[in-house]
């Protein structure tokens, strides 16, 4: 095959992959060069390319341990080896994000933080290594990519499961209702599930109790598998009683028609 023919077919394949490049960039927040590299490595399989990208198969810049230590020292509590509320507030100021921004949940997830509003030194360092940055300006530059991780279904499931344990009070098995509502509003803000606000209103009006891990987990499955009109909802299914009550509430309130 001539060089011109090879060039033509190469361009043709790239042209057909343009949509995948745009999809990859939209989901991952990566630039075009990284998207193209990951897609080529996966033979243009989008899911495979995302796995490659998220599993950090492409080399990241080497981190400066001394610089990272300085970053940690700026935020650590003066009386303990932890970053606590004041340090996290300063961290948010430097990062130019609101403490209630969902990206702070994503960062804490990268840190594998055990508890909301506190990071151990190990968690702090682990998070920066996981993200692949060693300074606040570098972290600020990758915030769009961190937000974009919420668009990946696999990553969202991991974040969703993480959020329950991260947000509950120490020693508690359930999640306080007000905290659960705030977490659901945060996680579902850009998910496009039309029933999230009604779900939160229902809980505050009819339930007013802590949320179990089972209810937390099953709501994700409900929101993904059941139509907002309840057209495929089975009242005899194995849903937690609270979700069954919510389905009844939707019908009683006229939000969805009775079958």
- Find the helix or strand (DSSP H, E) in which 16 lies: helix 3-16
Q: Which domains does the chain have, with CATH numbers?
A: 3-54 (1.10.8), 65-149 (1.10.238.10), 152-252 (1.10.238.200)
CA angle 120, 124, 127 (to 5 degrees): 135
Burial call 145-166: b when 16+ CB within 10 Å, e when fewer: bbebbbebeebbeebbebbbeb
Given a cut of 90, whether residue 91 has pLDDT beyond it is: yes
Per-residue pLDDT tens digits for 119-145? 999 999 999 999 999 999 999 999 999
pTM: 0.76
| 91: number of Cβ within 10 Å | 21
With H, G, I as helix, E, B as strand and everything else as coil, classify residue 119: strand
Backbone angles phi, psi at 118, to 5 degrees: -160, 140
Per-residue pLDDT band at 222 (split at 50, 70, 90) = very high
Given a cut of 60, whether residue 68 has pLDDT beyond it is: yes
Reference 92, options 110, 108, 114; nearest CA is: 108
Per-residue pLDDT band at 5 (split at 50, 70, 90) = very low
Count of alpha carbons within 13 angstroms of residue 64, beta-carbon side: 8
Given a cut of 50, whether residue 9 has pLDDT beyond it is: no
Given a cut of 90, whether residue 54 has pLDDT beyond it is: no
The residue length of the chain stands at: 259
Phi-psi region of 97 (alpha: psi -120 to 50; beta: other; left: phi over 0): beta
Please give the pLDDT value at position 16. 55
Reference 145, options 75, 53, 251, 237; nearest CA is: 53
């Amino acid at each position: 095959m001539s060089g011109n023919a090879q060039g033509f077919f190469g361009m043709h394949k790239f042209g057909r992959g343009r949509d995948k490049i745009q999809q990859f960039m939209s989901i991952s927040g990566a630039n075009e060069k990284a998207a193209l590299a990951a897609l080529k490595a996966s033979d243009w399989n989008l899911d495979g390319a995302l796995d490659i990208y998220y599993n950090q198969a492409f080399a990241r810049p080497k981190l400066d341990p001394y610089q990272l230590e300085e970053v940690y020292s700026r935020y650590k509590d003066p009386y303990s080896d932890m970053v606590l509320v004041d340090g996290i507030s300063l961290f948010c100021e430097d990062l130019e994000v609101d403490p209630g921004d969902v990206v702070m949940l994503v960062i804490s997830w990268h840190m594998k933080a055990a508890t909301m509003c506190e990071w151990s030194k190990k968690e702090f360092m682990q998070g920066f290594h996981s993200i692949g940055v060693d300074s606040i300006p570098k972290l600020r530059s990758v915030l769009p990519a961190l937000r974009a991780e919420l668009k990946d279904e696999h990553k969202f499931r991991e974040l969703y499961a993480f959020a329950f344990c991260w947000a509950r009070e120490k020693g508690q098995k359930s999640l306080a209702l007000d905290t659960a509502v705030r977490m659901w509003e945060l996680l579902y803000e850009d998910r496009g599930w039309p029933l999230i606000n009604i779900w939160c209103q229902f809980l505050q009006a009819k339930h007013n109790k802590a949320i179990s891990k089972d209810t937390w987990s099953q709501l994700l499955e409900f929101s993904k598998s059941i139509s907002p009109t309840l057209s495929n909802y089975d009242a005899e299914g194995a849903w937690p009683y609270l979700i069954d009550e919510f389905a009844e509430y939707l019908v009683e309130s006229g939000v969805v028609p009775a079958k």
